[in-house]
A and B are shown apart, each in its own frame.
Chain A
């Protein structure tokens, strides 16, 4: 086989100079892996560099290359060994039998995860190994995509080896992946995300309905960021049936393992513990797991599927001790940060005004860009100074900057990790990395509250809905605290309408609204992205949903960038012949009051019903009747009050008008499944009420036929 190094050196036209090798060797260091800017890589025995060039020894040749040709120098990356894939399969028959059994139980399944086998091994030297095998029975065409496998890894810390990847056929034959089809590349991610991960990918050939795919790989963490932060979270159930789902954790005898087992039944929650040579083996096994059937507005899968999370510590002490210095290092009030804060708060009189201005700066002038590269940037973020300088950052960076800036005005604040509520409840019983977001905890006048500068349109002191009702981890204060659910009044939309009806059904509507909290932020966000003409067009499209035959008179809103007051919207329009006439009757529905609740569409549910946060909507409408008409029918008032929904609405008839008022609020975020029937009934009553009409009848004149 051709020497790849020589080929590389020639092809990249690097100046190669043979020897004086011994002369240089004392200046050179350890082996390293070089990533070149053109995508090629080279493992070298020894390396040195100065401001302009990198020198190395590869094989028997030494060379030098200009620095700009190199993208990365790694001292820890290990070469991948050539993949040698196992071909022998001993368990085809029992695997097919298991698949058939599960297909018998769940015949409508797309696929069956016949075997889901994860083994973690914590080595005495602090490195660890994860061995995973999946065997998937392909029951429908839609499952064939499972043959495409992608495994992410961080090359300076981890190494992946494919043990086998093959198709199993019911006749006992096996189709094996060719090792040259295994590729490593930087996979594609969203426009704003930058990280150090690579992806090992392959597609198992000949995947077909009725067959199985079977792959196994080993992920070795040879350079863990912290040898004591060995931890993971393994889930035993998914949206397709699972045959055997097994978690094994091998630990050195003298190292204890701590675990929690969310959503596991008592019988499965504790492992079988056995002793194997110098190791203790913890095994959890769950078999014949039914598929989870998704429901609208159901909790996150992590809140319903049985799982086990484990780590080496029983409390947060070590984790906090490890992260706290990183936080403190970044939480530095430098001169430039102070100067910027002074500039931002200029003109602000009260402390609240100052906080508000700083909060807005971090939201609006720090662009969302996420750059992750190590434990520090992953968990703590970049220094406040860097984020300010770059004018970009992600949640950790923005949380750090906001906290640091608030410090300058004497406000105690901390970046804290949370798991956003759509992702489920965070594990806080053990020190597991289970946060997916960072917000800012503010301590002011004995009160603790939260701000989220990763948003872009929140008026102080409101913050993002997905942060509500979560659990924080505050490494700086070494505390775990709840983020409370705000009252519905903090996410409110207040609407006023004046409607004047004409005899031909034409309705002139004058609309005013004011909002706060997430509702306000959403309206600000959507309006600030539109030019005035575009906003007008969007209002037109919205009105045309009522009737395309309309005249728009006013479509304005307050300045979405003025955060000193609540956001207000105003419009006035005429809906021509909006109220249909049928003979002498006129039928009218107040525009936009109809409410739908798709979350209660199911007759029965298995899981709780979950919404993002609490909210409130209030409507006050005055309807002037058309000349010559009297009210024939008004819907009955409706009042409902439960812990999960409060509704109060009524039509009141006046001499020549009708006054309508309604108030709906959802004070709680989670409706337990036992309350579902009652809740569904209530929401359906509300939906029906809001779909009812006012019936008016033309008053007969003398001699006129009815």
Chain B
């Protein structure tokens, strides 16, 4: 303990601190200080220093508030710690940052790797609140793993502009389990608390420490830091200390030529420790942009983790995987129940196993990051019928192995966050498990994070991302295939008959593939009436007068086929009758919006959600005597990033419209690619605005120049 904190504790016994809460059996509660419990009597002192005695029989319980570092100093003038004194003296005023909700005055994160393998982490943040949204900074939460880590909330103070200091009390602190229902996965804990007396102009000062007793390749320790946030940060420090005998991976990304954090490295020959310190300051913050790429792909980022090799990690993982193997009788019974023997061919076997696991093993939503990379025994999934995505992957791996089919377990993180980095030798950067199976010279990638993913569908977040797979006791890296028109696809066919009075009789077929089918497959749990309500809502979104006649879904449990949703409906008076000679209507099924291209220019790259293809085909049967008035323009756009084609032709009594939208790129550089995107979106929304005007050419009663107003509706 350093001298500063010793001074704090010296104060402790001089001044009472009021944060205990006494709860009476009869429903009342008192806030103050528990003075003593003797001979069955509880002596409690309130805020004003008045003592009250209760019998233990009257008291349900007493919540004791912990006295934390600095809790006995109640005036800013009494502070002695140099860091906070200096920060408070030089803190800016609201007028210096008129647009900001808050400013981070100081943030220091210190990581100390110890010789015994433990790691000590301290995080201190001092924030000045300027505007009401900034008050949320006074509600904090931190996470840790309860079996390997100890979290200590060192202090949480509020410094008010009138010079008073307020401290956290434990009635506004809670330690919670995140996954209580499934004990096998219940490692993660959250500590949350609310600081007291936070006003606009207050400064809040929070410090917590985590001691990680042990970590391993499969319960990895990793620091992943991004420098830069929406609100300004005046002083940021990241300090990493490690013994020289311990190799540490320090891997920077997106390091700009100017404005990057400054790094100082020093070695202390006496302690044999190296210290790396990054310092950073950004007085502006950034203004978020629509569909902006993740900050960890734009701003300076540093990974810090104990140095190892993918070979070492691979060996440890292989060992853990082997020890999670199921009892032969259990896996045999599971495979036998699925009727795998009747499948012909390895691909069919793989698919049948995947379908069976998805159906029989209830998914527990605990990602590897919230649990670890050492698999839970496969017997648990087989005997209890539940498991997280990793447990499902592990079960699939063992089932395939049992049947003599080789596969590789791997891990992946999202494309948006930059994918798995080979230079960073830690599984800690990964989110989830994935399985790779090579059959008939084709790679199949299997994810089990949703019950509604079709076989070998890669979630869009992993498409194009880098993953690592276990092979020969090591991890090997591979970029996963992008989605494109095969995986992420939506097709729609419409047959519309327009009557002379403007009614439309519509038959619509929607084909969903990949990500589009996931939400619809979830509808298999709905009752028939709920599905009908859904279909009625869908057609009303197309037109307020649309009346559903019929609808159907393909078998939503059949993952071999795309989801097909068919609708039949009538839209009375869908076409406006502007005169006896003119019928006009909008293409209700092409409803593109320009929102995503609202910015004329951008500062940061734009992310498009996935590569994809969408196709619409509309066949309109025209009323007798009416012909389409052509648009006299072409609605198409084509570049390597993004394509849109449309055609509209009248053939006899039918008008045929078709269009195709294809996104081939996911990241749009603000200067090079975003203008392409924007131009394409202009084209899309131009066509969405376009009306289809039909003129009666047969009658040729010349249009009377002049005005017509529709008659007032009768009835």
Contacts and interface: CB of A to CB of B under 8 A. Distances in A.
Interface of A: 26-30, 32, 37-39, 47-52, 54, 67-68, 70-77, 106, 108-110, 140-145, 147-150, 156-157, 181, 183, 185-189, 191-192, 194-196, 199, 201-203, 205-209, 223, 225-226, 291, 293-296, 322, 326, 364-365, 367, 369, 371, 373-377, 386, 389-392, 456, 528-529, 531-534, 537, 540-549, 577-578, 580, 582-583, 585, 587, 596-598, 600-603, 630-638, 651, 653, 683-685, 687-688, 691-693, 695, 697, 699-700, 706
Interface in B56-105: 56-57, 59-64, 66-67, 99-100
B598 interface: yes
Contact of A548 (B178, B194, B536, B594): B594
Interface string B112-155: 00000000000000000001110100110100001000100000
Contacts of B40: 29-30
A547 B685 CA distance: 7
Contacts of B678: 548
B372 to A, nearest CB: 19
12 contacts: A72-B62, A149-B181, A156-B60, A203-B386, A225-B25, A293-B527, A293-B533, A367-B198, A534-B288, A549-B682, A600-B540, A635-B709
Given A76-B25, A296-B537, A585-B693, A391 B707 contact: no
B525 to A, nearest CB: 4
B99 A76 contact: no
A194 B173 contact: yes
B381 to A, nearest CB: 11
B341 interface: no
Contact of A50 (B36, B197, B533): B36
A596 B544 contact: yes
B624 interface: no
A150 B180 contact: yes
Interface stretch (B182-190, B254-262, B319-327, B479-487): B182-190
Q: How large is the interface on B (under 10, 10 to 19, 20 to 34, 35 or more residues)?
A: 35 or more
Interface stretch (B26-34, B411-419, B609-617): B26-34
Contact of B595 (A144, A293, A541): A541
B444 to A, nearest CB: 23
Contacts of A685: 713
Contacts of B139: 191-192, 367, 369
Given A28-B39, A543-B598, A391 B196 contact: yes
B362 A632 contact: no
Contact of B183 (A39, A181, A207): A181
A297 to B, nearest CB: 12
Contacts of A185: 176-177, 180, 186
B170 interface: yes
Given A30-B40, A148-B182, A377-B29, A73 B197 contact: no
A587 B691 contact: yes
A141 B359 contact: yes
Contact of B61 (A68, A72, A191): A72
Contact of A375 (B27, B135, B177, B544): B27
Given A50-B36, A76-B59, A633-B708, 5 more contacts: A141-B362, A376-B29, A386-B31, A532-B99, A636-B712
B246 interface: no
A530 to B, nearest CB: 9
A464 B84 CA distance: 41
A28 B287 CA distance: 62
A601 B537 contact: yes
Nearest to B31: A386
B698 interface: no
Contacts of A32: 56
B710 interface: yes
B530 A203 contact: no
Contacts of B362: 141, 144-145, 147, 207
Contact of A638 (B525, B632, B713): B713
A594 to B, nearest CB: 9
Contacts of A683: 544
Contact of A150 (B60, B181, B692): B181
A266 to B, nearest CB: 26
> Which 7 residue pairs are nearest across A and B when measured between Cβ atoms?
A548-B594, A375-B27, A687-B544, A544-B598, A29-B40, A142-B525, A74-B61
B93 to A, nearest CB: 17
Given A582-B691, A630-B705, A544 B61 contact: no
Quick one: which of B25, B360, B541, B579 has the most chain A CB within 10 A? B25
A154 to B, nearest CB: 9
Given A187-B180, A188-B177, A369-B172, A392 B196 contact: yes
Contacts of B537: 296, 598, 601-602
A202 B181 contact: yes
B574 to A, nearest CB: 9
A636 B132 contact: no
B385 A39 contact: no
B451 interface: yes
Contact of A540 (B27, B598, B629): B598
A49 to B, nearest CB: 5
A464 B690 CA distance: 41
A582 B690 contact: yes
Contacts of B524: 140, 142
Contacts of B194: 192, 194, 367, 369, 392
Nearest to A386: B31
A373 B576 contact: no
Contacts of B61: 72-77, 156
A544 B597 contact: yes
Interface string B632-662: 1000000000000000000000000000000
Given A39-B175, A207-B385, A199 B180 contact: yes
Interface string B508-548: 00000000000000101111111001001100110111011
A175 B705 CA distance: 83
Contacts of A326: 27-28
A71 B170 CA distance: 8
A636 B594 CA distance: 30
B263 interface: no
B288 to A, nearest CB: 7
Contacts of B692: 582
B213 interface: no
B405 interface: no
B286 to A, nearest CB: 10
B133 A603 contact: no
B339 to A, nearest CB: 16
Given A185-B180, A529-B133, A695-B578, A537 B598 contact: yes
Nearest to B170: A71
Contacts of B29: 373-374, 376-377
Contacts of A29: 37-41, 56
Contacts of B543: 691
B181 to A, nearest CB: 4
Interface in B383-420: 383-386
B713 A545 contact: no
A188 B527 contact: no
B244 to A, nearest CB: 33
Contacts of B288: 534
B681 interface: yes
Contact of B385 (A201, A206, A389, A692): A206
Contact of A186 (B60, B150, B176, B530): B176
Contacts of A291: 527
Contacts of B383: 205-206
B174 interface: yes
B289 interface: yes
A73 B22 CA distance: 10
Contacts of A191: 139, 141, 192
A74 B545 contact: no
B39 A374 contact: no
B290 interface: yes
Contact of A631 (B631, B691, B707): B707
